[in-house]
Every structure is written in structure tokens, then in C-alpha cells.
Amino acid sequence: MWTTLFVSSLSLGSFYTLIALGFALIFGVTRNFNLAHGELVVLAGYVSYWLWKIWAFPFILTFPAAILITLLICLGLERLFAHLYEPQELNSIVLSFGIAVVIQNSMLFFFSGDYRLIRIPVLSRGFHILGVYISYTQTTLLGLSLIILLMLYVLMYRTYLGKAMRATIQDKDAAALAGINVAAMGTLAFCIGAVLIGIAGPLYGCIHYLYPSTGREATLVAVTITIFAGVGRLSGIILAGWILGLAESFTVVFFGVSWREMVSAVLLLALLSFRPHGILGHGER
């Protein structure tokens, strides 16, 4: 039981990571607190569902379409956020809340209030290893989150573009003084964020279920993990996802399901009190 629980917790944490990555990147670079993030994840899921169910697209081929749609929307969002006055964080919350409501109601109108599931039979199968049953869903989530993080790591730490983005995350004004096109970095962050949302959405429909208002849950997960990891610290995100997944799972087993959210909240409060710069943070840089 314990090994199964451990594996499923890591898989849950990886799922959280995939949902949070786009949000964390956009917030880190542009300081825009995108409350419509979850709705975009769900919308990407709906795009994938529709192509898979109605047009009988192979599931894997629905990802590019979902990415394209989220890319277009995110570029539109970036333009809207660019016109906001200071304080940017606060105004972006207000604007994105409105956008979230619009997206949510549009999804209700276009996709109805029925619960939608993307059912990929192969993902519900699995294999036994050392007496533990591991499903392909769990391995996919673990593998995909690690691959995406690795790619992001290479981009951020091994390319000039990544250095420029990290400089923007650390200090926007200093980066601008150093000749970095901060506005272009913002656009790039939105584009990468859109790709990540476009990947997370179809998986969301495959692992969870699609419903117009479920985006709020996804946003909450993204915000929690981002705070947990520390703003702008992409490397801490998977660690934060796993810790949260493990904490939630073991709380359910030892104390009951109703304590699950309480533990997440307590962990978050403790972190904000004792390590306000995130789980891997070392104070102001």
C-alpha cells in the first residue's frame, strides 16, 4: 500500500507541476497574476476533447491544436496586460478575474455543462513492478513533467535567451538597463506559458474531467505551487508539486480526506512565515 501511495503521490505532484509551470513562468517574467490560467487549461482540454471525440483525431495530434489556440489567446492576453497601469500585480488580478468569468461562461455556452472525459484506454492500463501496480497515466505524468522541466532548464540556464529571461525575472529595470528587451521577454514568457498550458489541458481532460468551472481548482493549484516554489524559481516547482502531493496523500491516509486542504494551507502558511522566498529560496538575490 505504501509504495502504491508513494508512486501515486509523485504522479499527483507531477500533474500539479504541469498545471503550474505556465502560470509560474508568466508570473515570474511579467508579474501578471493570471487568474484565468485554470480556465485556459480547461479550454485547451475542451479543444483536445472536441477534436478527439467529434473529429476522431488521434489524441496525440490534438496537442498542437490545443497549443495553437492557447497561444493565440495568450498573445491577446499579453496585449491586454501590457496596457495595465501600476500596480501591475493588483490590476492583472482584476483584469484576469474578468477574463476568467468570460472564458468560463463561453465554455458553458459552447461546450454545455456536461462533464467531458478524454478516455485513452492505453493510459488506464499499467504494469507490475516489485509487486506494485503502476499505471501508464502515472508514468506519463512523471515522465512528461521531468522532460518538460529538463527542456525548460536547458532553455533558461543554457541559452542566452534563458539568461535574459532570468535577468528579467530577477530585476526588470536592471535587465532593461542592460539592454534586454523586457517587453519581448514578456511576450516570450506568454508564448512558452501558452505551450505549457496547451500541453497541460489535454492531459487534464485525460486524467481529471472537463467542466467549465473546474478551472478555478487548476488556478488554485498553480498559485499554491508557485508560492511554494518561490516566484521565478522553476526548479523548485516539481519539488513543490511532489511535496504537496505527498503531504496531501499521507494526510488522507492518516487523518482523513477532510484534512487534505487544511494540510496544504498549513504548509503554505508555514512556508510563507519561515521561507517566504520559497522552498529553494535563499532570501533576496
Partner 1 sequence: MNSKPKNDQNFMALLLKGFFIIFCLLSLIFPIETSFAGVIKIGEIDPLSGRLAKNGIEIHQGIEVAVAEANAKGGIGGARLELVTRDDQSRPDVAISRAEELCTWEKVAALTGGYVDALVGPIAAVSQRCKTPYVASASLQKELAAHKNPYFFRVSRLQGFVEPLCRFMAERFKGQRLAILYAATPGSTELAQDLKRCLEKQDLAVRLMEKFRPGTPDFTPLIAKLAGMKIDVIVSGGFTPDHILFIRQLKENRMSPKAYIGPFGIAYESFISALGNDADYLYTTCAWNPGITMPGTEKASASFVSDFQKTFHHQPNTTNMHGYTSARAIIAAMQKVWDNRQTVNGENIRNALSKLDMALPMEHLSFDANGDPTHYHQVIVQIQKGKLVVIYPPDRASGHDIYPMPSWEQRN
Give the interface with partner 1 as residue ranges (CB under 8 A).
1, 4-5, 8-9, 11-12, 104-105, 108, 112-117, 119, 124-126, 133, 135, 137-138, 207-209, 211-214, 217, 221, 248-250, 252-253, 256-258, 260-261
- Closest distance to partner 1 from the beta carbon of 14 (Å): 12
CB nearer to partner 1: pick between 17 and 214: 214
Looking up cell 467531458, which residue turns up? 116
Which helix (H) or strand (E) element contains residue 133? strand 132-135
Q: Which is nearer to partner 1, 5 or 268 (CB)?
A: 5
Alpha helix (H) residue ranges in the chain: 2-30, 37-53, 59-82, 88-111, 121-124, 136-158, 160-170, 172-177, 182-207, 215-229, 235-255, 260-274
Least CB distance to partner 1 at residue 188 (A)? 30
What's the angle, vertex CA 263, arms to CA 260 and CA 269, rounded to 5?
Answer: 145
Are 32 and 207 spatial neighbours (Cβ–Cβ below 8 Å)? Answer: no
Count the Cβ atoms, other than its own, within 10 Å of residue 2. Answer: 9
State the minimum distance, in angstroms, from the CB of residue 91 to partner 1. 24
The residue whose grid cell reads 497561444 is: 71
Cβ at position 196, least distance to partner 1 in Å: 19
DSSP per position, 209-252: -B-GGGHHHHHHHHHHHHHHH-TT-THHHHHHHHHHHHHHHHHH
Q: How far is the CB of 30 from partner 1 (least distance, A)?
A: 27
Cβ proximity to partner 1, 53 vs 166, nearer residue: 53
Grid cell for residue 108: 458553458
Query: Of 58 and 121, which has the nearer Cβ to partner 1?
Result: 121
Of 137, 109, 149, the C-alpha closest to 22 is 149
Return all residues near 135 (Cβ < 8 A) that are at least 6 apart. 123, 124, 125, 126
Residue placing its CB nearer to partner 1 in the complex, 79 or 119: 119
The least CB distance from residue 281 to partner 1, in Å, is 26
CB closer to partner 1 out of 62 and 214: 214
Select 144 or 280, whichever has its Cβ closest to partner 1: 144
Closest approach, Cβ 7 to partner 1, in A, equals 9
